[in-house]
Copies of this chain bind each other. A is one copy, B any other.
């Protein structure tokens, strides 16, 4: 495939499998969840968010040049910030605070669904164990993030009186960070995935990442949407 064809194939995967298509996302966006369900979503999403810098550091540790490492290091800055209280991880806690969750409980991860943990760990391990090409390719869901961010922020502000713009502060910087990240990763995979096997691996890496995100929403839906089946030990609203 040419680079353009590879990009088109990646975008097709997003059109079919990105989690904006998931019923739970639709319910979140359309105001059909209650506050407890939004709490459960935010609590579990914190497990994912708090592991993103670990995932990126795992990948960064494998990058063989200063140029690649500097480019990937921007993600650590985006999520960990320069100081306490800054960065994406800290901004997610602003949301969980606004939803009335105890911050130390959120940070302990003790209420997180096992299925969330396993999906998040699968992502970190993928980036540790697979080829660098596949690891970078797995970040390409960022190609689709701006769409979902727009829907989510507008939908949640419209429908839930228990969230305001400040609560959703996580998302605003992501509108510019995600496209920058995605552009770098897309350029990298187009330059380095030149054989059929490499291109198949890139597409499979994106499907894997879509599976990670989709399975987390499946787990939330199963546990917290009627009829909820909350597994032993997990958050009970």
Contacts and interface: CB of A to CB of B under 8 A. Distances in A.
Nearest to A17: B232
A77 B211 CA distance: 33
Contacts of A231: 211, 214-215, 218
Interface in A174-224: 207, 210-212, 214-215, 218-219, 221-223
A16 interface: yes
Interface residues of A, number: 27
Stoichiometry, copies per complex: 2
A140 to B, nearest CB: 16
A222 B218 contact: yes
A166 to B, nearest CB: 34
A165 interface: no
B211 A114 contact: yes
A122 interface: yes
A125 B115 contact: no
Nearest to A18: B232
A114 B233 CA distance: 22
Interface of A: 16-17, 23, 113-115, 117-119, 121-122, 125, 207, 210-212, 214-215, 218-219, 221-223, 229, 231-233
8 contacts: A17-B233, A23-B229, A115-B119, A118-B215, A122-B122, A214-B232, A218-B223, A219-B222
